[in-house]
Copies of this chain bind each other. A is one copy, B any other.
Amino acid sequence: MTTDLTGVSAPSRVADLDEGISVEELQLAARNHGLPLEALRFDLTPPGLHYLLTHYDIPAVDPDAFRLVMDGVVDGPLSLDLDAIRSRPRRSTVVTLECAGNGRARLRPRPVSQPWLVEAVGTSRWTGTPLSPLLREAGLPDDAVDVVFTGADHGIERGVEQDYQRSLPVREAMREEVLLAYEMNGAPIPPQHGYPLRLVVPGWYGMAQVKWLTRIDVVADPFDGFQMRAYCLRQQPEDPGTPLTRIEPRALLVPPGFPDFMSRTRVLRAGPTIVEGRAWSGWAPVDAVDVSVDQGQTWSSATLEPAPDRWGWARWSWTWEATVGNYTMSARASDASGRSQPVDAPWNRGGFANNLVQRVAVTVISLSDLAGIEEP
């Protein structure tokens, strides 16, 4: 029997130039969420504020029945329950994770998918056991090419039914910082972030951080699964594409003052204001953050604090003598590899890796402006 799935799973598309956000994009935006930007003030993002993107459903994984299977071309397959994983060497790393699609909804024309503006980021302390000793134990043959990670999340995407699967080249999988994580900020991982076990690959975009991990397969041929083809930079659907890997540099500022409910424009009273934020890059340490209040015409150097961990964001701050007027604030990070943030975003069809500088509208008012708080 054949079922017509045309209405269920359509090809990817790009919105018309004058097309508002669609209900299907809104469905994704209502269930996934970004970091409210004021939460950049936390060194570690509290649960529920860290960005979240789930391709399908959050699966229900029974921790008692759980087994992680390691198989493929390894010398000896392994099957480990949670106690076995937890009894192995324990390691914690602070890691900033960012969705590869962050910034997608700011591109023109807009690729139709999860419509992130700028907020798909978060920083946690991930605790687990390093992957590389486990791979060595299973035994890696000389012809091993990729390591394939399979999650318990199941769905259909562009017509292909699948468990979520991503691979890493063997050399990346063997990096000592790559973790099989079972704790987030010192507690069991919440259901939506991969309970009971997920992969953490510091420096890479979120698509590599396979949640609800159930299988690890070492393969002797390059893995070409759906998600490997999906997360590529392309101009046209038929382009072979450049695979996404590490996180491009970005700085975000804690929007100063207070917001209007609907426009989210900031209102700030005149006077000296400490502007602060965070900056990160998966390629190399951030070595400079600049701030502009005039739409990028002029830039000032912010004070950059050392990041507490190579893979976590760094705090920066800058003192602004704010005078009455309308401003557009931006922050721009550069890293030690020479990468920086563009002020005009290059377009790509998937809407990936758009690290265009943030723009925050701020209206500075005098101390006596506005009606003040309503008193009971």
- Which residues of A are in contact with B by a Cβ distance under 8 Å? 1-3, 5, 7-10, 12, 19-39, 41-42, 46-50, 52, 54-58, 60, 72, 105, 112-113, 115-117, 119, 148, 150, 154-158, 160-163, 165, 167, 190-193, 217, 219, 223, 225-226, 255, 258-265, 267, 324, 326, 361, 363, 365-366, 368-374, 376
User: How far is it, in angstroms, between the C-alpha of A154 and the C-alpha of B34 when the chains are bound?
Assistant: 21
By a CB distance below 8 angstroms, the chain B residues around A7 are: 263, 265, 326, 361, 363
Question: If A156-B261, A167-B376, A263-B24 touch, does A30 touch B39 (CB 8 Å cutoff)?
Answer: no
Determine whether the beta carbon of A260 is less than 8 Å from that of B3.
Answer: no
User: How far is it, in angstroms, between the C-alpha of A154 and the C-alpha of B226 when the chains are bound?
Assistant: 46
- Least CB distance, A33 to chain B, in whole angstroms: 3
- Least CB distance, A170 to chain B, in whole angstroms: 14
Q: Give 4 closest A-B pairs by Cβ, nearest first.
A: A20-B20, A48-B48, A33-B33, A21-B21
A21 in complex: contacting residue of B25, B154, B219, B258, CB < 8 Å: B25
Determine whether the beta carbon of A48 is less than 8 Å from that of B192.
Answer: yes
A376 in complex: contacting residue of B41, B223, B373, CB < 8 Å: B223
- Least CB distance, A327 to chain B, in whole angstroms: 12
Determine whether the beta carbon of B376 is less than 8 Å from that of A9.
Answer: no
User: How far is it, in angstroms, between the C-alpha of A155 and the C-alpha of B258 when the chains are bound?
Assistant: 5
Determine whether the beta carbon of A372 is less than 8 Å from that of B161.
Answer: yes
By a CB distance below 8 angstroms, the chain B residues around A5 are: 267, 363, 365, 370
13 CB-based A-B contacts, threshold 8 Å: A1-B366, A7-B263, A7-B326, A8-B265, A38-B58, A46-B190, A49-B191, A56-B261, A57-B258, A157-B261, A161-B267, A167-B376, A225-B376
Determine whether the beta carbon of B261 is less than 8 Å from that of A55.
Answer: yes
User: How far is it, in angstroms, between the C-alpha of A167 and the C-alpha of B22 when the chains are bound?
Assistant: 37
- Least CB distance, A257 to chain B, in whole angstroms: 9
User: How far is it, in angstroms, between the C-alpha of A61 and the C-alpha of B160 when the chains are bound?
Assistant: 48
Nearest B residue to A7 by beta-carbon distance?
A: B265
By a CB distance below 8 angstroms, the chain B residues around A162 are: 373-374
A20 in complex: contacting residue of B22, B41, B60, B363, CB < 8 Å: B22
Determine whether the beta carbon of B22 is less than 8 Å from that of A373.
Answer: no
- Least CB distance, A350 to chain B, in whole angstroms: 13
Question: If A20-B20, A30-B116, A33-B31 touch, does A160 touch B374 (CB 8 Å cutoff)?
Answer: yes
By a CB distance below 8 angstroms, the chain B residues around A161 are: 258, 267, 370-373
Question: If A29-B30, A48-B192, A374-B225 touch, does A3 touch B258 (CB 8 Å cutoff)?
Answer: no
Question: If A3-B369, A190-B46, A376-B217 touch, does A27 touch B117 (CB 8 Å cutoff)?
Answer: yes
By a CB distance below 8 angstroms, the chain B residues around A262 are: 9-10, 12, 24, 28, 112-113, 157-158
User: How far is it, in angstroms, between the C-alpha of A225 and the C-alpha of B375 when the chains are bound?
Assistant: 8
Nearest B residue to A33 by beta-carbon distance?
A: B33
Question: If A54-B36, A261-B55 touch, does A3 touch B366 (CB 8 Å cutoff)?
Answer: yes
Question: If A32-B33, A258-B57, A376-B167 touch, does A26 touch B154 (CB 8 Å cutoff)?
Answer: no
Question: If A33-B33, A36-B192, A372-B161 touch, does A260 touch B155 (CB 8 Å cutoff)?
Answer: yes
A261 in complex: contacting residue of B155, B225, B255, CB < 8 Å: B155
By a CB distance below 8 angstroms, the chain B residues around A167 are: 376
Question: If A41-B60, A112-B262, A262-B113 touch, does A31 touch B34 (CB 8 Å cutoff)?
Answer: yes
